[in-house]
Amino acid sequence: MIRALLFDFGRVISAPKPSNLFHTYECDLGLRPGSINRIMFDSPLWEQALIGKLQTKEYWQAIGPELNLDSPSKTEAFRRRYYADEKINQEVVDLIKTLVGRCRLGIVSNHPPGLEEWLAEWQILAFFNTVVSSGEVGVVKPNEKIYRIALERLGIEAAETLFIDDTEEHVRAARELGMKGHHFSSARALTAHLQKLGIETFRH
């Protein structure tokens, strides 16, 4: 019986950004097409941010020159723009709302420090019994330690838990610990999977 659900944050609870938005960033910054994600996320600086060795604003100030941002103020302005363009995946959040009180809910995310503040801004932090971010605990998925931290905080066994992530490697790691796993593609597919597991996804 599933008693807990653990969600990834990026591209699950938050919606994927459209590819044309990254193209706009690159044009505005004078970057080569297709380069911004490589610059930002294939960087040792990002790896340090993910395990909490850099705070989010420190990461942005460090990466700014590589994005052709030549002053702290310009870097901060683009950081604010970048985050303002992040959107909630409303279908997923609507689904989560139906699960509140029916099972334990948590987030396990590879994310720099500050994820709880983001969730609070979106007014969804209260839905979750725990939020485990790599920037807080110093370890990233698919390392088993981050999953074990979430299970311990929830007081739930792995076999009683469904882990939901858009990265197959992360889902596979959860399954190796004994959890059930769902490779996320859409709220509709997740709803169907929950119903197969006997988890109600509607309000009485």
- For residues 36 and 128, membership in a common domain is answered with no
Residue 141 resides in a domain: yes
Of 84, 105, 128, which residue is a domain's last?
84
- For residues 100 and 190, membership in a common domain is answered with yes
Tens of pLDDT, residue by residue over 156-185, are: 999 999 999 999 999 999 999 999 999 999
Distance, CA of 186 to CA of 197 (rounded, Å): 17
- For residues 100 and 159, membership in a common domain is answered with yes
Mean pLDDT score across all residues of the chain: 96
pLDDT exceeds 70 at position 80: yes
Q: What is the number of domains present in the chain?
A: 2
- Average pLDDT rounded to a whole number, residues 76-105: 97
- 161: which 2 tokens? 């838990």
- Average pLDDT rounded to a whole number, residues 71-76: 98
Residue 204 resides in a domain: no
Give the structural domain span for 118: 4-15+88-196
Tens of pLDDT, residue by residue over 4-46, are: 999 999 999 999 999 999 999 999 999 999 999 999 999 999 9
- For residues 111 and 57, membership in a common domain is answered with no
Three-state SS at 132: strand
Residue 202 resides in a domain: no
CB 105 within 8 A of CB 7: yes
Of 84, 106, 137, which residue is a domain's last?
84
The CATH number of the domain where 149 resides is what?
A: 3.40.50.1000
Residue 124 resides in a domain: yes
- For residues 116 and 186, membership in a common domain is answered with yes
CB 112 within 8 A of CB 59: yes
pLDDT exceeds 90 at position 82: yes
- For residues 189 and 112, membership in a common domain is answered with yes
- Report the pLDDT value the prediction gives residue 200, as an integer from 0 to 100: 83
pLDDT exceeds 60 at position 83: yes
- Report the pLDDT value the prediction gives residue 201, as an integer from 0 to 100: 80
Of 55, 84, 113, which residue is a domain's last?
84
- For residues 187 and 99, membership in a common domain is answered with yes
Name the pTM for this structure: 0.96
- For residues 93 and 184, membership in a common domain is answered with yes
- For residues 78 and 94, membership in a common domain is answered with no
Tens of pLDDT, residue by residue over 103-134, are: 999 999 999 999 999 999 999 999 999 999 99
- For residues 77 and 99, membership in a common domain is answered with no
Q: Per-residue confidence at 62, pLDDT binned at 50, 70, 90?
A: very high
- 97: which 2 tokens? 């709302």
- For residues 67 and 124, membership in a common domain is answered with no
CB 113 within 8 A of CB 56: yes
Residue 25 resides in a domain: yes
Which helix (H) or strand (E) element contains residue 72?
A: helix 72-84
- Report the pLDDT value the prediction gives residue 203, as an integer from 0 to 100: 54
Q: Are strands 4-7 and 161-165 parallel, antiparallel or unpaired?
A: parallel
Q: Per-residue confidence at 204, pLDDT binned at 50, 70, 90?
A: very low
Residue 94 resides in a domain: yes
- Report the pLDDT value the prediction gives residue 44, as an integer from 0 to 100: 97
- Report the pLDDT value the prediction gives residue 202, as an integer from 0 to 100: 67
